Structure 1
């Protein structure tokens, strides 16, 4: 299997330990609501407002971090965002409660910028053709860290205090900045951003995307599926509880997601590296829909496990190839911007998923899972259609010059 990763540059392998430590320490998002309503004494409504604003900051950071990198350098933006987020998280326990309304969204914005800047940095230092494997490596170590983080965070919160959660998260983020500065030399990420074709901003974001309709379809599909995918963190545990399965059962089922990804992510990246990316992504989105479809057969341990396995397989198939495809399709002057667009839509479910899913589950619980199936299946079908269209265009013969009116003029003798 290692032969399949020969094209991944040394810088990506060296970056991975920092990504792992940062992911392990990124446990505050799991406990922030409990922290605000507990030690900080906010009401549920106030805590919801703070976390909601923080979620908007997170999405905004995802949408902008890569674009900043196109202008100022991806390594530089990653280091600045990591230092800002790490400092804000470390100092957050010392701030008065009223300051949390600004400090937490600021930290979340910086964390979002880290995600898109890191993806853009990987896309820049990895040559086309090896990006799928490179992103798989980064995702694998990141998922490993996220698997260990929550139980470690619970130990810190119960053994020390919730304040130490933020200190540990901040220190881990600062470590990531120092590690990146050490193992990714400026020269390896100093590829000057290419100028736009007209020397300015080119055709603009919309013009660039219209010239790449498959990317537009993919981004729309990922936006829809992320809202569906993240129901596993909001309405799904409520659904399990309503059917007699406690928090312990939910934790074990959720751990299955991390286990499947850790075992299969890298082998899948190697085995499927020559497959058309949009076809792989489309099948992955269909599997996400099939996962929620398993819940239509009834709710118990068996169907919940089937649901999580299918969801995890779908995640493996769609997330890494989609990230790499967007990087490969980006114009040279906008690699970071395209990674920001993908990062933003692929995290939008963090903000949109809980309120939309919760509202539907409260009003008509029997409709939520069928709708998830339909939305994911529709998104998968749209991506498969975009792949088929792309293939048809590639196979279409070029029109003769006399039909396009582009034949050369006769030279006067």
Structure 2
């Protein structure tokens, strides 16, 4: 497997080390509701409102981070956003409740900018042809950090206080800024620009020239609403059928274990396969996972669902991120990454109200609808994989690798 990652630059491996450390301590989004409804003494409604506004900040940051990066430089934007997020996170325990309505969304917005800028930075550093492996490395270490973080955070919250979670998150984010500044040289992360200094076409015109990217973005938007139900309505479904929180925690842990075990080997094994076919197959597997819940709500069914969902995630998430980067014109790499980053987290905001409302009104319809939506999204992407390219071969200076036709 080592041979398959030889093309991943050293800077990406070093950057991934910082991503791992930051992911371990990125606990705000996990514990913020418990913190607000516990030590802060807020009611569930108020805590939910503040948390929801923070989620909007995350989505907005993902949608806009790459746009700033295309103009000011992805490395520079990442460093600035990480500094802002770190300082705000460290100050949250000291702020009066009324200021949390502004401070938490600001911190989450900056965190979203970091995510988009980090993806764009990897896309700029890594030449086309090695991006799937590079994004797989970043995703794998990030998932590893998030797997370790919550249990450690629970120990800190119960043994010390919730305040230390925000301090640790802030320090970790500031460390990520300093680490990135050290391991990613400014000369290797220059902001995107049109060849010869010319301004490129607008993003909408570039997207219209790449209909497969438009279809992919729409498909990921739909599937993320479905995918996120594992965190929102799925645990309620399990509880309604006699399975406790412990069972849910073990099933979710299975997701992390499968990703850590298979993400990198899959990226190497499939690196030369057509990306849209891989993405479409992954979306179909997500739908199959939710379809499996039609067989009942036992532990075995839940495990089958999570295995299928995890395999689908491995296939579509890394490949889609790399595909959007490969399709982007040089002057709009950040904006393309921001569009993908934004739609890929949209379910955080839209998933709970839509899924919760449907489950409350007609619980028997939720999983069939999830399966249908993911299936249609997968079919749409697979259909686009059969269509011929619409735009011309891209030059080597734009792709970072040998010239070749790009499916559009």
When normalised by structure 2's length, the TM-score is: 0.94
Q: 1:294 aligns with which of 292, 295, 300?
A: 292
Instruction: Give me the whole-angstrom Cα distance separating, in 1, the residues matched to 2:218 and 2:51.
Output: 25
RMSD: 1.4
Which position in structure 1 is the counterpart of 2:198? 199
* Structure with bigger gyration radius: 1
Instruction: Give me the whole-angstrom Cα distance separating, in 2, the residues matched to 1:205 and 1:335.
Output: 10
Superposed CA offset, 1:253-287 (max 9, x none): 00000000000000000000000000000000000
Which position in structure 1 is the counterpart of 2:178? 178
Q: Does 1:116 align with 2:116?
A: yes
Which position in structure 2 is the counterpart of 1:399? none
Instruction: Give me the whole-angstrom Cα distance separating, in 2, the residues matched to 1:195 and 1:30.
Output: 40
Query: SS in structure 1 opposite 2:385?
Result: helix
Which position in structure 1 is the counterpart of 2:63? 63
Structure 1 residues 8-407: aligned runs within 5 Å: 8-190=8-190, 192-195=191-194, 199-200=198-199, 202-390=200-388
Query: SS in structure 2 opposite 1:388?
Result: coil
Instruction: Give me the whole-angstrom Cα distance separating, in 2, the residues matched to 1:67 and 1:174.
Output: 22
Query: SS in structure 1 opposite 2:192?
Result: coil
Instruction: Give me the whole-angstrom Cα distance separating, in 1, the residues matched to 2:321 and 2:267.
Output: 12
Which position in structure 1 is the counterpart of 2:405? none
Instruction: Give me the whole-angstrom Cα distance separating, in 2, the residues matched to 1:307 and 1:322.
Output: 22
Instruction: Give me the whole-angstrom Cα distance separating, in 1, the residues matched to 2:202 and 2:44.
Output: 42
Instruction: Give me the whole-angstrom Cα distance separating, in 1, the residues matched to 2:198 and 2:272.
Output: 35
Query: SS in structure 1 opposite 2:41?
Result: coil
Deviates most, 32-41 or 218-227: 32-41
Q: 1:193 deviation in Å?
A: 2.2
Distance 1:175 1:360, change over 3 A: same
Q: 1:347 deviation in Å?
A: 0.4
Q: 1:48 deviation in Å?
A: 1.4
Q: 1:16 deviation in Å?
A: 1.1
Q: 1:198 deviation in Å?
A: 9.7
Query: SS in structure 1 opposite 2:215?
Result: helix
Instruction: Give me the whole-angstrom Cα distance separating, in 1, the residues matched to 2:388 and 2:10.
Output: 33
Q: How many residues align?
A: 392
Q: 1:206 deviation in Å?
A: 1.5
Q: 1:46 deviation in Å?
A: 1.2
Contact 1:28–1:153, Cα closer than 8 Å, also in 2: no
Q: 1:252 deviation in Å?
A: 0.3
Superposed CA offset, 1:94-116 (max 9, x none): 01111000000000000000000
